[in-house]
Amino acid sequence: MTAAAVIGAAGPAAALLGGAPAAAVTAIAGVAAGLIAAVSLLIAAVRAVPHSGRRSSAWRWLASGSLGWLAGVGMRPLAEGTPFMLTFADVLVVAGTVLLAIGCGRTARRRAYGRSLPHYVSSAYISAASLFTICWVALLGPLYAGSDEPSTLASPVVCLLAACAVAPAALASRSAGCRVGRAALLVLAAATVQEVATAIARITVDGPPPLVTGMLTPVAFLLLAAAPWVVRPKARGRPARGPSSLIVEGAPLALAAVATVVLAVRVVTGGPEPSAVVLPVAAGSIVVVLLAKVFVLALETASMRGGLDSSERRLIHLAESAGDVIVVCDRDGEIREIGAGVEALYGYRPRELVGRSILDYVHSEDAPAVQSALKALTSEDDLPGERQGACRVACRVRAADGTWRPAESVATRHPSDVEDLVLISTRDVSDQVALRNQVVHLTFHDGVTGLPNRAYFEERTREVLARRGGGTTAVVFIDLDGFTGVNDSVGHAGGDYLLSQAARRLRAAVHADDTLARWGGDEFAVLLESGGSGQPSGSGPTDAQSAIDLAERLVREVSAEPFRVADRDIALTASVGVAFAEDGVPAGDLIRNADVATTRAKELGGRRVEVFAAHMHADVVRRLELAADLQRALLAGQFAIEYQPVVDLATSRVTAVEALVRWWRGSTLVPPQQFLGAAEDTGLIVPLGEWILRESCREVAAWRASSWDIGLSLNLSTRQITAPRFVETVAAALAESGLPASALTLEVIEEMLVEDAEEIIGRLSELRAMGVRLAIDDFGTGYASLALLRQLPVDLIKIDPSFVCGLGRDETLTLLTRTIVRLGHDLGLMVVAEGIERPEQLELLREMGCTRGQGYLVARPMAARGVDSLMRTSLAPVPPLQNTA
């Protein structure tokens, strides 16, 4: 290319305003702007807060770069006369540009530089090389076609590389110093334009750059000087995002594409000059870097895919190690891949299942839920962000042996290159389900008999009453009589075995539609729907009769034959109570009524059936109220003791007194027969009996201290004798009062010597050994045999008033009374007749040889002061005959 052509090509550039005045103006403006920027940045760096070290360092780098730039621009007019195309002023400008780039780069956060340093550097180089190629083809190529001074491009190329190197980080950064970094980037861009203009001016007219391009850099420096002091408004909510990272990442490729187009157009229209080597080097380097970048990206992609595959394999291996089966299937359930764990868990070989549908191995009742889960995970109608990510499904899976096993599955989306698949992790929960069923069974069933327990029976009763129609619903309670002593005789294991036998007998007697449960202890309960025993509902009286017939059959089944336990036979009977449901009766009340009826059956002797009546509940309530009143009365001291004298029938002298308890509720006397039974049932008879023992021993001891030889008789109940420390209590009362043991006579009835005979006889024998006298009360009316008199040596027997009342009127009673008196004499026992009320009774007893007696004819019960009066007025005999009124 000739010089005229070069000048002609540069004509438009030279047409701009230039010359020595323009060079001076641009130099002065550049120096001043650079100095202002340096001072501003240094002051801002000094005033920066201590924890913003990176920002302060960046501003110092920018200040240094500004000083280097202004030094180079300021010295450039002095260096214009040198013979070198690249002067020492240009070196200072290049150094300042590098420092500005470093400072600009440090204003951005580290994560703004992308994935890796090679990636960032390659992108920056592609951008710079593409811009250089575009500029070379469009402007610089014709100017440098015949030039032998390519070194003039050193400063523009450095500025271009510096700007492209920091541009992505500065544009993508959202740090507090991003505005300073972008102002520095503007300085680098303006410097690049100015250096290109300077290079063009040197090649074309050997003079300074035009004024317009020379003023871009001073303006940019002024913006850089102001940037640290611009107050950034506080962001509300999330901070505003910078330019999109996609645009920043795509800019190098876009510039490379534009460079390719420009180069292609240049080749089509005439092509580059053959002597130019810059363009092939720039364009070729772009291609090489792009190829290297593609190669690195391919390696990274392969590594990521390998890592993904490895992670997936590890996940599958981990799931199978935990006992899960991993299945990959499509949206229709066709199995594409399945883990090897399916063989150990379900007995299938993996290759047998591939290509088949998982629905073939899911229970038909659970298949719809599995299908819905698959469609929800692979639905194409929903937007990708709205698709369900994972779901949990409980189903039953058929094993190779044909059994159905409960399983829990978690299904997740499993994208592939071809279609969306579903990854299912299935865990067998047979053990958990079996354990849960066992817990439920144990919660509602009895562990000894295997029958439903109380909780189940109550819930079942509520359900039946809630849907009760016109039929009769009844509850039958069964209580085993005499079971209390079974555990003591054969142990608790033997007692449990007996209960299991009883449960089998009851189960055989109850209809399959009825509910038999163990209520607790030795009690069982039966719920009969529609009358029980399979009778149809609505049959009226037949329903009620069927329930009673069942109750009587249960009594017979229990007592039909003895239970065989621990190589011994144990005979038991049953007390049964029946309660019928009325309209609106709650389940709790129905069950309570049956229990009350059972208690009534036991009170009447057992081995019988009682049907609940309203008065039974009233009696129970009254008894509970009476028990509460008894406890309050004992604390308030409302009880008193009366003494009924026992006289020598031959001399009519008082030899002893029998202590009788009285309850005065205010001014009202409560008869003993109304409260002694309740006291015995509630156990209050024990503290009450101890109080009677201490008070009566104290009174009798005081009378004996007055030279009155008198004894004391007390009645005992079973609960008193079997109470803990009973023998010690009697001994303590005697010791406290000073009453001799021989003056105390304890009376028991015959039935007590039959029930719990071993324990009672043992304790009474201990008292007998202490010197306490023993008596059998109401002799002749119980079940005691003469053998008991040999096991328990007694001192006297008391003839029951039922025999005495018939003396002189009933020959049989008279004969029996005479026999008892003679038997007592033959055994060496003292005989006491009770209930003497008529003179002829007294005469007949004297004739029979009865030595002692008591009754209204002899003396009525009296308070302690009455006995004192009797003692003071007469230590003489009581008149043999008294008015019975």
**Residue 483 pLDDT more than 70?**
yes
**Residue 541 pLDDT more than 60?**
no
How confident is the model at residue 519, as a pLDDT?
Answer: 92
Helices (H), 535-684: 541-559, 587-603, 614-636, 672-682
Distance linking the first and last C-alpha atoms of the chain: 167
Helices (H), 229-277: 245-269
Average pLDDT over residues 235-261: 62
Amino acid at 298: A
How confident is the model at residue 476, as a pLDDT?
Answer: 94
Query: Which residue ranges does the chain devote to CATH 3.30.450.20?
Result: 322-434
Are 535 and 542 in contact by the 8 Å Cβ rule? The answer is yes
Closest CA to 535 of 525, 524, 548: 548
How confident is the model at residue 555, as a pLDDT?
Answer: 92
CA 544 – CA 851 distance, rounded (Å): 58
458: Cβ–Cβ under 8 A, 6 or more apart, which residues? 587, 588, 591
How confident is the model at residue 177, as a pLDDT?
Answer: 60
CA 498 – CA 562 distance, rounded (Å): 10
Cα distances from 168 to residues 175, 178, 224, in angstroms, run 14, 12, 18
The count of other CB atoms within 10 Å of the CB of residue 755 is 12
The continuous run of DSSP H or E covering 338 comes out as: strand 335-338
Residue with the bigger pLDDT between 297 and 652: it is 652
How confident is the model at residue 459, as a pLDDT?
Answer: 92
Helices (H), 510-606: 541-559, 587-603
Three-state DSSP class for 419?
coil
Lowest mean pLDDT among 56-60, 392-396, 489-493: 56-60
Greatest mean pLDDT among 86-90, 109-113, 127-131: 127-131
How confident is the model at residue 80, as a pLDDT?
Answer: 63
Q: Is the alpha carbon torsion for 680, 683, 685, 690 positive or negative?
A: positive
For the record, the structure tokens of 829 come out as: 């026992």
**Residue 51 pLDDT more than 80?**
no
Lowest mean pLDDT among 1-10, 34-43, 159-168, 316-325: 1-10
The continuous run of DSSP H or E covering 327 comes out as: strand 324-329
Residue with the bigger pLDDT between 208 and 738: it is 738
Cα distances from 78 to residues 75, 82, 142, 152, 751, in angstroms, run 5, 8, 29, 17, 142
How confident is the model at residue 540, as a pLDDT?
Answer: 41
How confident is the model at residue 733, as a pLDDT?
Answer: 94
For the record, the structure tokens of 629 come out as: 């009143």
**Residue 661 pLDDT more than 90?**
yes
How confident is the model at residue 749, as a pLDDT?
Answer: 85
Q: How confident is the model at residue 398 (pLDDT cuts 50, 70, 90)?
A: very high
CA 832 – CA 775 distance, rounded (Å): 10
**What is the overall mean pLDDT for the chain?**
78
166: Cβ–Cβ under 8 A, 6 or more apart, which residues? 101, 104, 105, 108, 181, 184, 185, 188
Please provide the CATH number assigned to the domain covering 638-870: 3.20.20.450
* Beta pairing class for 830-834 and 796-799: parallel
For the record, the structure tokens of 834 come out as: 């009770």
Lowest mean pLDDT among 358-367, 414-423, 524-533, 872-881: 872-881
Residue in the block written with tokens 């070379």: 136
For the record, the structure tokens of 749 come out as: 């009835």
Are 338 and 353 in contact by the 8 Å Cβ rule? The answer is yes
Cα distances from 660 to residues 643, 657, 663, 748, in angstroms, run 6, 9, 10, 14
The continuous run of DSSP H or E covering 712 comes out as: strand 711-715
Greatest mean pLDDT among 134-148, 606-620, 642-656, 776-790: 642-656
For the record, the structure tokens of 546 come out as: 């069927």
Query: Which residue ranges does the chain devote to CATH 3.20.20.450?
Result: 638-870
Closest CA to 373 of 425, 450, 438: 425
CA 286 – CA 588 distance, rounded (Å): 93
Are 132 and 289 in contact by the 8 Å Cβ rule? The answer is no
The continuous run of DSSP H or E covering 43 comes out as: helix 20-47
CA 262 – CA 176 distance, rounded (Å): 39
Region of residue 566 (left: phi > 0; alpha: psi -120 to 50; beta: else): left
Are 572 and 481 in contact by the 8 Å Cβ rule? The answer is yes
How confident is the model at residue 866, as a pLDDT?
Answer: 85
**Considering the domain 445-612, what is its CATH architecture?**
2-Layer Sandwich (3.30)
Average pLDDT over residues 364-380: 84
Are 652 and 878 in contact by the 8 Å Cβ rule? The answer is yes
CA 557 – CA 579 distance, rounded (Å): 20
Average pLDDT over residues 84-98: 73
CA 374 – CA 356 distance, rounded (Å): 15
CA 301 – CA 622 distance, rounded (Å): 91
How confident is the model at residue 714, as a pLDDT?
Answer: 94
Cα distances from 295 to residues 292, 299, 300, in angstroms, run 5, 6, 9
Model confidence pLDDT, tens digit, residues 698-733: 999 999 988 888 999 999 988 899 888 999 999 999
Q: How confident is the model at residue 295 (pLDDT cuts 50, 70, 90)?
A: confident
Three-state DSSP class for 104?
helix
The count of other CB atoms within 10 Å of the CB of residue 394 is 12
How confident is the model at residue 44, as a pLDDT?
Answer: 78
Query: Which residue ranges does the chain devote to CATH 3.30.70.270?
Result: 445-612
**Residue 261 pLDDT more than 90?**
no
**Residue 882 pLDDT more than 50?**
no
CA 786 – CA 753 distance, rounded (Å): 11
Are 655 and 643 in contact by the 8 Å Cβ rule? The answer is no
How confident is the model at residue 115, as a pLDDT?
Answer: 56
Model confidence pLDDT, tens digit, residues 484-539: 778 777 888 888 999 999 999 999 999 888 999 999 889 999 999 864 444 444 44
Residue in the block written with tokens 């001399």: 651
For the record, the structure tokens of 755 come out as: 């029930």
Cα distances from 822 to residues 364, 673, 790, 817, 829, in angstroms, run 91, 32, 17, 9, 10
Cα distances from 828 to residues 75, 750, 778, in angstroms, run 154, 19, 18
Cα angle value 192/198/203 (rounded, 5°): 130
Cα angle value 521/525/527 (rounded, 5°): 160
Task: Please spell the DSSP secondary structure of 60-71, one letter per residue.
Answer: HHHHHHHHHHHH
Lowest mean pLDDT among 200-204, 557-561, 615-619: 200-204
Residue in the block written with tokens 């009365």: 633
Domain 322-434 class, CATH top level: alpha beta
Cα distances from 574 to residues 458, 483, 681, in angstroms, run 22, 10, 20
Cβ neighbourhood burial of 376 (10 Å; 0-12, 13-18, 19+): middle
CA 784 – CA 709 distance, rounded (Å): 32
Helices (H), 48-177: 53-79, 88-106, 117-135, 141-143, 154-172
Amino acid at 412: T
CA 802 – CA 287 distance, rounded (Å): 134
